[in-house]
Amino acid sequence: MKVTSEQAKQLLTDQLSVWESARDNYKALEAVQVKELTVEGCTVKIQFNPARIVSSAAKVDTQSLKERKCFLCAENRPEVQEGLPDGSYTWLINPFPIFPEHFTIPVNEHLPQLIEKRFGDMLRLAHAAEHYVLFYNGPKCGASAPDHAHFQAGNKGFLPLEKELKKYRRIPIRTEKSARLSQVEDYICPFFLIEAESEETAEKLFVKLYNALELKEGEPEPMMNILTW
Ligand SMILES: [Zn+2]
């Protein structure tokens, strides 16, 4: 089964009707303070969101991970939490949201957060859930569960970059049929961009990019965050 945007949204509605603390956190999100700044021509949204401290301050060192029960493994999830199966993944609502609609999509086994073999899955998930932006935080790049592979999804229309992408100049690097890999340097945090009409060509370009990225000593993969829509 492929989870669509409508099914994900329904899961959120259903869960918020029975899960009080998650409902409180989504309610609190409506009242968080947001400040918008323009930095070198780019819009930056700063969110003061105290409910996030549980997630953003999660200890991710090896010892702490060993001592805590993994909150993405099915057997350790709160009883009230339900999931939508999607192949080898499960959609869950994120009880500590940043987005007005925020999901965590863990793989069904306790396997480490690594992107190399899962980028195609990310594209497939994003393709089916077209109202959402999927994101990946590398094990050393913000993932609060680096020991359990997962993506996150948030509703479109929320991230400034999504709206502003068109205005940035692309420096071409490579093409694969009609797909393009380019570099965007004008953004506050320069990034690589893959634009493609098919998952196959996007994946081919990703593999080339992945293999060209610097791998620091002792790291399982090049450090990265990925957004996909
Ligand atoms: Zn786990």
- Mean pLDDT (the chain, rounded): 93
For ion ligand 1, residues whose CB falls within 5 Å: 70, 72-73, 110, 148
**Ligand 1 centroid, distance to 106 Cα (angstroms):** 8
The whole-number pLDDT of residue 193 equals 98
The residue ranges of DSSP E strands in the chain, in sequence order, are 33-39, 42-48, 84-86, 89-93, 102-106, 132-137, 150-155, 170-176, 179-184, 191-195, 225-228
CATH class of 5-159: alpha beta
**Tokens at 50, concatenated:** 């105290």
**Tokens at 79, concatenated:** 């009883």
**Ligand 1 centroid, distance to 62 Cα (angstroms):** 14
Mean pLDDT of 2-10: 96
**Ligand 1 centroid, distance to 150 Cα (angstroms):** 10
Domain boundaries, the chain: 5-159, 168-214
Q: Render pLDDT for 74-116 as a digit per residue (tens, 0 to 9).
A: 999 999 999 999 999 999 999 999 999 999 999 999 999 999 9
Q: Render pLDDT for 206-228 as a digit per residue (tens, 0 to 9).
A: 999 999 999 999 899 999 999 99
How far are the Cα atoms of 25, 60, 147 from residue 65, in angstroms, in the given order?
25, 6, 8
**Ligand 1 centroid, distance to 172 Cα (angstroms):** 39
The whole-number pLDDT of residue 5 equals 96
In contact, 101 and 148? CB cutoff 8 Å: no
The whole-number pLDDT of residue 91 equals 98
Buried b (16+ CB within 10 A) or exposed e, 155-192: bbebbebeeebeebeeeebeebeebbbbebeebeeebb
For residue 43, what are the β-bridge partners?
38
The whole-number pLDDT of residue 169 equals 95
Q: What are phi and psi of 83, to 5 degrees?
A: -130, 160
Task: Report the C-alpha dihedral over residues 138, 141, 143, 147, rounded to 10 degrees.
Answer: 60
Distance (Å, whole) CA 69 – CA 202? 36
